[in-house]
Amino acid sequence: MQKFLQHAYDHTVYYKRIFDNLNLKPQDIKCLADLQQLPTINREIVLKHFDELVPDNLHTMKYRKGKTGGSTGDPMPYYCNEDVWGYVTANKIVSWKSVGYKYGEDFVALGSSSLFPFGKKSPIHTIYNKMRSGTPLNGMNLTNEICAEYVEIIKKKKIRYLYGYAASIYLLSKYIKENNINLKKQIKACFTTSEMLTDEYRKLIGETYDCPVMDCYGARDAGISAYEVKPGNFFVEYNVIAEVKNPFAENTGTLLTTNFINYAFPLIRYEFGDEAHLTKDTSIYNGQLIKKVYGRTSDIIRLDNGNTLTGPGFTIFMRAFDIIAYEIKQLSGLEVELKLQVDKEKYSKEQEDKIILTMEKFAGKECKVNIVYVEKFEPLKNGKRRYFMS
């Protein structure tokens, strides 16, 4: 921790000023209580002081550029060094192993692959999927016909593990159960991610395959990665210290993280918009535990033509365009309204055409899609915005 704080002090304008104004040195911070002397930081502050948060020795590191989605405010750029990426990947491997998965076994990744009906896949992405043996399938629009195709792929490739958006795995599982398809001896575990795994979702998924359902919670900009290694207990990995502030119940409030290995973009006590119940129980795990995550819940939009739309894929979809924020709302059985706050200097008619083409692909050409441009969105009381509404 002190090494990380010293780096932030020595190499960023922002944190040198923070420490100096408080008359503190990194070596003064020796425990969590000391860390709480430092102010929190949020996306608004990061956007305002971005250049001051970039370390002056960034050029000496291997790092990637990231960007948050536009569903909870203006997208925020950030950097992530390769150590963080490697740590998150290792955490996933170890966590999946706890329910029998061996790295390299094939699994279905039911998410937002093949979002666009145009363009080519990256050769690097194809090689990466072959190395990890993942079979990516689009989980944004799951009609009965598409579910039937996916079932055949799962059977033909003898897939034993399902990974993807909670709502997408739920919809596929619902189809399998309603059509009396028996995959209980084949599917060994399901890994859900990106949105709230409701009790309804968990119950149906577990009953469909009679297998463990492991939920995953994470936020890349916050550096947090937590897997539900034991039911009802998300193991927060050791690269971050998590806290809660503004509690509305015991140990429950706004989540803060300090990622001690992201030297490419230091963020101390970072507030990224989620609320959670944080605790410790050394009889289960010698790190921190998240009991429950509040927020980030997406609805499912069911259209009268049989097409079904889920939320998380649209977050990734919208990142491809110069869109500041968005809201998708179902107006009727075959009508959807897409509100967009765009970067007027960069957004183009070509981008609008691609958005309409993609929406037609997933909602169906018979579904009316209304694009409405707005100057800004008003957030909810908790600072968030409902971006996907049935």
pLDDT, tens digit, 9 for 90 and up, residues 14-48: 999 999 999 999 999 999 899 999 999 999 999 99
Task: Calculate mean pLDDT across residues 302-320.
Answer: 77
Is 142 among the domain residues?
Answer: no
Question: Going by C-beta distance under 8 Å and a sequence separation of 6 or more, which residues neighbour residue 215?
Answer: 166, 191, 192, 193, 197, 202, 227, 228, 234
How far is residue 247 CA from its own chain's centroid? 23
Asked if the structure places residue 334 within a domain, the reply is yes
In a domain, 377, yes or no: yes
DSSP 8-state secondary structure symbol assigned to residue 154: H
Task: Kindly report, residue by residue over 227-285, the tens digit of the pLDDT.
Answer: 999 989 999 999 999 999 988 789 988 899 999 999 999 999 999 888 889 999 999 99
The stretch 167-196 carries a mean pLDDT of 93
Residue 358 maps to a domain: yes
**Structural domain span for residue 378:** 300-389
Q: What is the DSSP string of 64-130?
A: EEEE--STTSS--EEEEEHHHHHHHHHHHHHHHHTTT--TT--EEEEESTT--SSS---HHHHHHHH
**Pairing mode, strands 285-294 and 161-165:** unpaired
The encoded tokens of residue 362 equal 């997933």
Domain count, the chain: 1
pLDDT at position 156: 96
Q: Is residue 13 part of a domain?
A: no
- Using DSSP, how many helices (H) and how many strands (E) does the chain show? 12, 20
| Neighbour count for residue 105 (Cβ, 10 Å) | 15
284 in any annotated domain: no
128 domain residue, yes or no: no
User: What torsion do the CA atoms of 300, 384, 312, 85 make, to the nearest 10 degrees?
Assistant: -160
Q: What is the pTM of this model?
A: 0.78
Inside any domain, residue 26: no
| Alpha-carbon gap, residue 236 to 179, rounded angstroms | 38
Give per-residue pLDDT as tens, 77-103. 999 999 998 898 899 999 999 999 998
The stretch 52-63 carries a mean pLDDT of 97
Closest listed residue to residue 94, CA positions, set 210, 187, 225 = 225
